[in-house]
Structure 1
């Protein structure tokens, strides 16, 4: 920080210099205090892993105590509102995903504005959202499950990680296009939906939380709800390839309340850059089936805001 200089006595000059030095030291020691990363989903899903890989890297590699706090509810809107309401000092930031920022505000009343309530810090991964069934399910393809839904109205039960989220809307739009009547079952997080699926309480789940179960041979992928192929599974069609009305991936990043300082933003951008070249991030990608990306604060802000606006137009056009 540049010191102010006055033509005053030596004592006054020394005092001003000390104040300037203290301020500079404070700016250079962020975080200085423990940091909490709010996850607006239940523990156990890919959102958990995505926030934790950053928090653990900050704690273990930077020595800055960083924890993860799960605050699910209202389709991830509750925790997202708490991020917006936090003090802009960098001690509380949160996880960005498309659902509470891009879709939910168009479908329900929320206590924040995606255009003005947040500082978009950096985005660092995309994870395909898959439509999947149990490995021993009779359904072998997307076409088969759609045909069943058309022929047996209301009998197909499916769930997602967030009500009114991107996965919910994309799948609902696809079923509407096929004129299929299904039964949607809400859950607080992807882990809960998977538990219900494996327990036989629903026939299908749509989320980005499928990685561990896929590796364990417990689920079968029928489609990806976006435009990107699932790594290692090129045979699984995407919603874009199937010509569905809405095709979108799960993009994750860090956000904070509006007004975060450049020091806070720079800290996390630098950390994420280092994280992405680490063995820890490679291990995370293997589990989550995610793809590496990096949007700095400027690009992330532009993309997040345009996503919110464009999804609003699509939702209106679909009549959802």
Structure 2
């Protein structure tokens, strides 16, 4: 083949490649701009009425307003969040099924139960929308006024002090086990079968403490039902300025936080993920959303995809190690 023919062939191939890139690029733009063209289902792996459901509905409604399409919340509780997570992971990766994931579904439950999905590989992260720290609470007449009081009593009377939870493998159990492991304490874990029985027993002085989520503890504290001793956030919560952090109480390594995130099934087109993440970031800057999240003890996050990706990987590894080291078993 002559040099002229080679040059002509190279030119044709180059133009073809450029045209191909342009077509792919224009397809991606069209996919982003056309989405969504119908309603979106948002799977929440919890029953209606709880904090996770409320947060999912809040974010869903705000996204619906932004996207101009209905976002329908579909509550799919069961199997420690694995039921809803599994259904979301198996859904078509077209942006019309989203998932409210977090602490249980994407960090803890897959280590406690047999999951038929991978919490990292089978989801496309859209954005983290909030974190909820752990609050150590006790009954109002308790002799414990600080975290140190609890630690000193636990060391003086090993196996005597109790901490309650909503069940084996629950966030409350994980938090208590983490604190005991870090500080080499022997405390008795008292699991309940969900509901509020553990709270009633704390108020009734039948438990010593609970490592509760801020989404639940906030209302109890505001109502004067319990005494807060510390919170696991880096700084004091704005709504509870009198409650010290664990760090300033002398326990800087304790950090167990609930978290709430928006996911899509893996292989959802990147332009759709980008659009959803951008809209979520706008939603999380709205003053009414910030106020609503803070009112239930949730600190708003950025809504960025990269933040969620890094955070979820870290949490998954962290609780894998904790559950192994503390020999935690589910119900």
Give me the TM-score of the superposition, normalised by structure 1: 0.76
Q: Judge conservation of contact 1:42–1:188 (CA < 8 Å) in 2.
A: no
Distance 1:38 1:197 in 2: 33
Match of 2:265 among 254, 257, 278: 257
1:229 alignment partner in structure 2: 236
**What is the CA–CA distance in structure 1 between the aligned matches of 2:61 and 2:199, rounded to whole Å?**
25
Match of 1:173 among 178, 195, 211: 178
Q: Is the 8 A contact 2:63 2:280 kept in 1?
A: no
Cα RMSD of the aligned pairs, angstroms, is 3.4
- Give the Cα separation in 2 of the matches to 1:128 and 1:293: 13
Of 68, 82, 91 in structure 1, the residue corresponding to residue 87 of structure 2 is 82
Distance 1:146 1:152 in 2: 10
Retained in 2: the 8 A contact 1:146–1:175? no
Which has the higher mean CA deviation after the structures are superposed, 274-283 or 179-188?
A: 179-188
Q: Report the CA distance between 1:122 and its aligned residue.
A: 0.6
Structure 1, unmatched stretches of 5+, are 1-20
C-alpha distance in 2 between matches for 1:283 and 1:235 = 19
The separation in 1 between residues aligned to 2:236 and 2:81, in whole angstroms, is 26
Name the structure 1 match of 2:220.
Answer: 213
Match of 1:283 among 272, 284, 291: 291
Q: CA deviation at 1:284?
A: 1.1
Which residue does 1:273 correspond to in 2? 281
Question: How many angstroms does 1:197 deviate by?
Answer: 5.2
Pairing 1:184–2:190 present: yes
Query: How do 1:1-320 and structure 2 match up within 5 A?
Result: 27-135=32-140, 139-146=144-151, 151=157, 153=159, 156=162, 158-160=164-166, 163-176=168-181, 177-188=183-194, 194=199, 204-205=209-210, 206-209=212-215, 210-225=217-232, 227-241=234-248, 242-243=250-251, 246-320=254-328
In structure 2, what is the Cα distance between the partners aligned to 1:77 and 1:195? Answer: 28
Hey, which bits of structure 1, 4+ residues long, moved more than 6 A?
21-26
Point out where structure 2 has 5 or more consecutive residues left out of the alignment: 1-25
